[in-house]
Amino acid sequence: MSLLEVRNLHTHFVSHDLNNRSRIAKGLNGVSFEVDKGEIVGIVGETGAGKSLTAMSIMGLLQPPARIVEGSVRFDGNELVGLGVDDLNRIRGTELTMIVQSPLTSLDPLSRVGKQLVRAQREHRNMSSDAAWRAGADMLATVGIPDAERRMRAWPHELSGGMAQRILIALALINGPRMLIADEPTTGLDVTVQAQILDLLKNLVRDRDMAAMIITHDLGVVAHYCTRMCVMFAGSIIEMGPVRQVFNDPRHPYTQALISSTPKRIAEKGYSQIGGPPPNLYDLPEGCHYRDRCSRAADLCRTTPPLKNVGGNHVAMCHFADKEAADGTVTSHG
């Protein structure tokens, strides 16, 4: 049994138009994956593919009109979907934690860093303020913040982006979680700072035998910090497998296109036009959602493609995943 098991998760946004007809945006359409101890799973995909929505659904942080309409999220065997806030709060923030995007707006601007760290601990555990303060300072040192005691007294607005991101990581780790979800942990940070943060995450996962999930649109982060990856498109995981296998032998046309549009592949093989509008979540096409952008779409693609195993734990949701691509390489639109 894996630490986190997500099964057939469907999250919809249900709203009403002016004529009171309900409109449903299908944000997630049957997402299934698991994360084990000691591994870092990367989730990639374009804007609107459902990466952050997956994380929010797992954490039970959805706000109306978004809600889970089907599926299950099991953490350490316990079902999280449908759990009340109090029960959920016994798990999230302690055993399962999350680092959200935009560090500078995610800290409480009216509390000093130290107070926030103390609060996070005392919310979940019976401990004295002094002990919580000392543990907080230790944690700041662990995440590579020099002069931790002084930083404990800093206000959030005094922090740089990299520093604020470390504080968020410290907050996420302070209660010793078994799993960490990081939503774009380094977006907006400079590359040299990004390297520091990602190394920190990787070492923590290794040293504490944690599980982690990194949501990113940066294939470089996935290539070098994740063990497995999931590629999302229009609310579905369309390819999943060990990072090396997916990069070297992508089987879904979307993954192939995505990898071929990295600057390095362009330099080697030239441009392949793959862009296109993402499908309308209010009105998803029948069958394969990538059909309208896919160069090898056939009549068969009007039916929902199965998740085909193409070797090892590598799966792709394409009718043709187990066949060689037409020209052997990445397909390109004429």
Chain residues that interact with another protein, rule: CB under 8 A: 46-47, 146-147, 154, 158, 160, 162-163, 190-196, 199, 217-224, 243-244, 247-248, 257-259, 261-264, 266-267, 271-277
Min dist. Cβ of residue 163 to another protein (A): 7
- Please identify, using beta-carbon distances, which residue of 69 and 195 lies nearer to another protein: 195
Q: In angstroms, rounded to a whole number, what is the distance separating the alpha carbons of residues 274 and 256?
A: 10
| Closest approach of another protein to the CB of residue 272, in Å | 8
If the CB atoms of residues 169 and 259 are measured against another protein, the closer one turns out to be 259
Shortest gap between Cβ of 293 and another protein (angstroms)? 9
Closest approach, Cβ 313 to another protein, in A, equals 15
Contact residues for 240 (Cβ-Cβ < 8 A; gap 6+): 33, 228, 229, 230, 231, 246, 313, 314, 315, 316
CB nearer another protein, residue 118 or residue 246:
246
Nearer to another protein, 6 or 159 (CB): 159
Residue 275 has a CB neighbour count (10 Å cut-off) of 9
Cβ nearer to another protein, comparing 106 with 332: 332
Minimum distance from residue 174 beta carbon to another protein (Å): 22
Q: Write phi, then psi, for 242 (nearest 5 degrees).
A: -60, 140
Instruction: Please give the Cα distance from 14 to 100 (Å, whole number).
Output: 24
For the record, the structure tokens of 161 come out as 């982006």
Residue 74: CB minimum distance to another protein, A: 29
Q: Provide CB contacts within 8 A for 198, sequence distance 6+.
A: 185, 186, 221, 224, 225
Q: What's the token pair of residue 136?
A: 């907080």
Q: Which is nearer to another protein, 93 or 156 (CB)?
A: 156
To the nearest 10 degrees (0 to 180), the angle between helices 129-142 and 113-124 is 120
Nearest residue to 243 via CA among 261, 255, 260: 255
Tell me how far, at minimum, the Cβ of 165 lies from another protein, in Å: 11
User: Which single residue is written with the structure tokens 């209660």?
Assistant: 175
Cα separation of 53 and 66, whole Å? 9
Q: Which is nearer to another protein, 91 or 182 (CB)?
A: 182
